[in-house]
Amino acid sequence: MTTLEFSHVSRVYRVRGAGALRALADVSFTLESGRTIALVGQSGSGKSTIAKILTQLEAPSSGEILLDGHPIPHRGRALRRYRQTVRMVFQDPFASLNPYHTVRHHLERPLRLDHVVPRREIDAEVTRLLDRVRLDPVLADRNPHELSGGQRQRVAIARALASRPKLLIADEPVSMLDVSIRLGVLNLLAELQRESNLGVLYITHDLATARHFSDEIMVLNRGVVVERGPADRVILEPEHEYTRRLRDASPNPDLLFGATRAEEAGR
């Protein structure tokens, strides 16, 4: 069981001429193996600041982040171990893969750097990783530009899994993909989450997928968590006015046409 505790974290940016901008204010939550938390909110609400702090790209102004009770290290081997445990899937699969390198290269690097398997088993491990994300192993020797957006994001997911992490931060993992393949990639993430008992932080502005994908939803507004709770409850019976506004602004044709698609199909 791995737990990552985000404890009373604040982040203030100094803005020239405008004083201080409070991007996060006293945010606390715990990410643990086997559970998925969705983080939702408008642009500028602080979602990505949380991701940056979790991946150690930014330091908090105050508060602390504890992995299994220990503060996260800032350098050296300990930081590498942290990064092996907490992995990230980025939004844009067109930007997150190096166009000069093959799929194999992208997957081998974490395997070598983190000594995941003995050297002679690396090839087999690459095949296994591609298999896990439902990609044909022949794609290993292709370059990113030869792959579709959905295939690239699967490679990015395989790369994140290569180091056998315990926790996964997925920042808008499907918003750049074509709509008809989004569900497939999210379902793949859900299956992988179960297989490896991962803890997942799903960062999104899409309330519908947040509701169906996650156990719990956290709603962020201007750096403050205004509501959190079981996913269905937060969307179906929001307690905070801001959550209600977000929900009511989201397209919801089911409401307009009176019945859910499932009911229609049953008739």
Partner 1 sequence: MTDQTLLTIDDIDVVYDVDPPVHAVRGVSLRLERGEILGLAGESGCGKTTLAYAIQRLLRPPAVISAGGVIFHDRDGDDIDITALGTDALRRFRWDKVSMVFQGAMNALNPVKNIGSQLEDVFLTHRPEMSRAERRAQCAELLEIVQVGRDRLRSYPHELSGGMRQRVMIAMALALKPQLMIMDEPTTALDVLIQREILQQISELRSRFGFSVIFITHDLPLLLEISDRIAIMKAGEIVELDTPANIYRGARHEYTRTLLSSFPSLTGDRGGFLRTGEAR
Positions touching partner 1 (CB under 8 A) are 34-36, 42-43, 178-180, 182-183, 186-187, 189-191, 193-194, 200, 205, 207-209, 211-215, 235-236, 245-257, 260-262, 264
- The minimum distance between CB 240 and partner 1, in angstroms, equals 14
End-to-end CA distance of the chain: 46
Whose CA is closest to 155, among 167, 169, 140? Answer: 140
- The minimum distance between CB 70 and partner 1, in angstroms, equals 25
Strand, helix or coil at 246?
A: helix
- The minimum distance between CB 136 and partner 1, in angstroms, equals 22
Other CB atoms closer than 10 Å to residue 265's CB: what's the count? 8
111 vs 242 by CB, closer to partner 1: 242
- The minimum distance between CB 190 and partner 1, in angstroms, equals 4
62 vs 260 by CB, closer to partner 1: 260
98 vs 148 by CB, closer to partner 1: 148
- The minimum distance between CB 187 and partner 1, in angstroms, equals 5
Q: Identity (one letter) of the amino acid at 234?
A: V
32, 67 Cβ separation under 8 angstroms: no
CA distances to 93, 194, 201, 267 from 145, rounded to whole Å, are 11, 30, 28, 46
- The minimum distance between CB 149 and partner 1, in angstroms, equals 8
Whose CA is closest to 225, among 31, 37, 54, 41? Answer: 41
53 vs 234 by CB, closer to partner 1: 234
116 vs 190 by CB, closer to partner 1: 190
Number of residues in the chain? 267
Which ranges constitute the DSSP H helices of the chain?
A: 47-54, 76-85, 103-113, 122-132, 149-162, 179-196, 207-213, 231-236, 241-249, 253-256, 261-266
98 vs 197 by CB, closer to partner 1: 197
